[in-house]
């Protein structure tokens, strides 16, 4: 994060109808020096084979860039490693890679994916077109392949040369970088409305419309909206893997999650002050935690009996809190959802999904965890999977930091 800019990275995907696995792969990681490297790779075809090739490509590209291998050398290694389809003379996987340093300087390498889109948000969103440079890379086609392939410019065969596009720019607060697989741009192909597919220009227009209507839309929601719109063009039976990734440069959104009483009851007033003075969204997990804060601040708590879930205990309402939930069961379910995310439109709304929504829509998350042992959780008749509160918090924090690239702080009291 560069001072007042936080980098939110998210993606959304649908696999091809009838396939058991996705042929597109999106990987994102944060390096030790604070860089964020994100890669979207599209394997040739669909299903498991395409997914394996896309995973190989994305992993290789991210690793080379993370280790500061010079761009041309990295490109050459990647292209020499990628197998080439004998029939079509094209690589088995394409990719778009974004390398973002701690000062929000962005480098992008593209190979055969639809061109990325860059939107700058001011009073009105503006589509920017950064200057791109081509990187030509020789590929190790066999002598037979080279002899059979037609020549380009009288000397270089299609099978012996690949062209990548490189661009570099400095991102500003409000910028959104959007890139996607051809399942988005080619959605609807063959239909009466889009006989040649949705097309990149229409994707641009759709995103521009969304940004005008909801200027603060998160990266996660924008990626989901693009994929679902593309999916609708195929009558919700995707003819190809559909994936969209969004990187959003914006002011950080802060959140406080407080769970568990302090081991020292004398610190109850301190907990309440921390809750009251925090600037951002606030969550209380646990009935005892909520009771302490309410008592110290002279507030009341009311159980919300609307839309009761058969598994997750109901939430409560309290002034100043964005969400008040039960403790261990809700936190445990939230950890499961973060570890194995399901499509938001296919999840039952309950306190656990609401908790996950708030966590994913925040950037800098502070956990305040009480260390007093709750005797109810030591009952041997309780299910084994109900871990002690602080261990679940550590699990959630680790997922948010490693998988979702959030900035995490944990404080035990």
pLDDT at 152: 36
Helices 351-360 and 328-339: angle between axes, nearest 10 degrees: 50
| The pair of three-digit structure tokens given for residue 226, joined into one six-digit string | 């693009």
- For residue range 190-236, list pLDDT tens digits in order: 999 999 999 999 999 999 999 999 999 999 999 999 999 999 999 99
b/e per residue, 215-238, with b = 16+ CB within 10 A?
Answer: eebbbbbbbbbbbbbbbebbeeeb
pLDDT at 130: 82
What whole-number distance in Å separates Cα of residue 328 and Cα of residue 333?
9
pLDDT at 120: 93
pLDDT at 156: 33
Q: Taking phi first (over 0 means left), then psi (-120 to 50 degrees means alpha), and beta for anything else, what does residue 121 get?
A: beta
Phi, psi of 320 (to 5 degrees): 90, -10
Taking each continuous run of H as one helix and of E as one strand, the counts in the chain are 11, 20
| The pair of three-digit structure tokens given for residue 82, joined into one six-digit string | 């990628």
Number of residues that this document lists for the chain? 413
Give the number of C-alpha atoms closer than 13 A to the C-alpha of residue 111, restricted to the C-beta side.
30
Across the chain, mean pLDDT equals: 85
What whole-number distance in Å separates Cα of residue 307 and Cα of residue 328?
20
| Radius of gyration of the chain from its Cα atoms, rounded to whole angstroms | 24
Q: At a CB cut-off of 8 Å and minimum separation 6, what does 180 contact?
A: 40, 113, 114, 203, 226, 242, 243, 244, 245
| The pair of three-digit structure tokens given for residue 117, joined into one six-digit string | 């889109």
Nearest C-alpha neighbor of 370 from the set 276, 275, 279 = 275
What whole-number distance in Å separates Cα of residue 28 and Cα of residue 406?
12
Q: At a CB cut-off of 8 Å and minimum separation 6, what does 225 contact?
A: 210, 217
Phi, psi of 250 (to 5 degrees): -155, 175
DSSP-assigned letters across all residues of 274-321: HHHH--SEEEEESHHHHHHHHHHHT---EE--SS--SSSPPPEE-TT-
Q: Running DSSP on this structure, what letter comes out for residue 15? A: P
- Scan for tokens 């959140």, then name that residue: 255
pTM above 0.75, yes or no: yes
Query: Where do the domains of the chain lie?
Result: 6-250, 254-412
What whole-number distance in Å separates Cα of residue 25 and Cα of residue 18?
18
pLDDT at 384: 39
pLDDT at 373: 65
Assess contact for 82 and 138: CB atoms under 8 A. Answer: no
Nearest C-alpha neighbor of 218 from the set 405, 409, 9, 364 = 9
As to burial, measured by CB atoms within 10 angstroms (0-12 exposed, 13-18 middle, 19+ buried), residue 307 is exposed
3-class state of residue 228 by DSSP: helix
Q: What is the mean pLDDT of each run of 10 residues along the chain (413 residues)?
A: 80 92 93 92 87 89 86 74 62 87 92 93 83 75 42 38 85 95 95 93 96 93 96 94 96 94 90 95 94 95 87 94 94 92 73 94 93 59 54 93 93 89
pLDDT at 368: 94
C-alpha 130 chain-centroid distance: 24
- For residue range 231-269, list pLDDT tens digits in order: 999 999 999 999 999 999 999 999 999 998 888 889 999
Residue 148 Cα distances to 28, 30, 89, 155, angstroms: 39, 43, 10, 13
At the topology level, CATH places domain 6-250 in Phosphatase 2c; domain 1 (3.60.40)
């Amino acid at each position: 994060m560069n001072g007042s800019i936080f980098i939110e990275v998210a993606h959304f995907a649908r696999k091809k109808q009838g396939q058991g696995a996705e042929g597109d792969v999106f990987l994102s990681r944060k390096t030790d020096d604070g860089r964020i490297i994100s890669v979207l790779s599209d394997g040739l075809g669909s299903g498991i084979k395409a997914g394996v090739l896309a995973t190989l490509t994305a992993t290789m590209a991210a690793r080379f860039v993370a280790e500061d291998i010079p761009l041309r050398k990295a490109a050459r290694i990647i292209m020499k490693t990628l197998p080439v389809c004998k029939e079509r003379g094209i690589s088995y996987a394409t990719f778009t890679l974004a390398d973002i340093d701690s000062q929000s300087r962005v480098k992008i390498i593209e190979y055969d994916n639809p061109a990325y889109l860059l939107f700058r948000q001011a009073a009105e969103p503006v589509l920017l077109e950064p200057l791109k440079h081509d990187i030509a890379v020789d590929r190790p086609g066999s002598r037979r392949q080279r002899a059979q392939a037609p020549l380009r410019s009288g000397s270089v065969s299609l099978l012996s040369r690949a062209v990548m596009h490189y661009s570099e720019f400095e991102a500003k607060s409000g910028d959104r970088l959007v890139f996607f697989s051809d399942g988005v741009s080619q959605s609807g192909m063959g239909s009466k409305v889009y006989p040649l597919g949705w097309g990149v220009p229409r994707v641009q227009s759709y995103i521009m419309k969304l940004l005008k209507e909801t200027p603060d839309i998160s990266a996660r929601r924008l990626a989901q909206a693009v994929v679902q719109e593309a999916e609708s063009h195929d009558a919700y039976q995707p003819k190809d893997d559909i994936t969209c990734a969004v990187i959003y440069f914006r002011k950080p959104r802060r959140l406080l999650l407080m769970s568990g009483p302090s081991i020292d009851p004398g610190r109850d007033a301190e907990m309440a002050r921390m809750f009251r003075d925090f600037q951002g969204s606030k969550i209380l997990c646990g009935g005892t935690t909520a009771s302490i804060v309410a008592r110290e601040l002279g507030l009341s708590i009311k159980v919300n009996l609307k839309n009761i879930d058969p598994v997750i205990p109901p939430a409560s309402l309290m002034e100043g809190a964005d969400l008040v939930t039960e403790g261990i069961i809700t936190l445990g379910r939230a950890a499961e959802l973060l570890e194995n995310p399901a499509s938001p439109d296919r999840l039952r709304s309950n306190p656990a999904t609401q908790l996950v929504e708030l966590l994913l829509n925040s950037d800098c998350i502070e956990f305040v965890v009480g260390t007093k042992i709750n005797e109810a959780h030591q009952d041997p008749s309780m299910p084994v999977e109900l871990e002690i509160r602080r261990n679940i918090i550590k699990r959630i924090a680790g997922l948010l930091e490693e998988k979702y690239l959030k900035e995490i702080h944990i404080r035990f009291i």
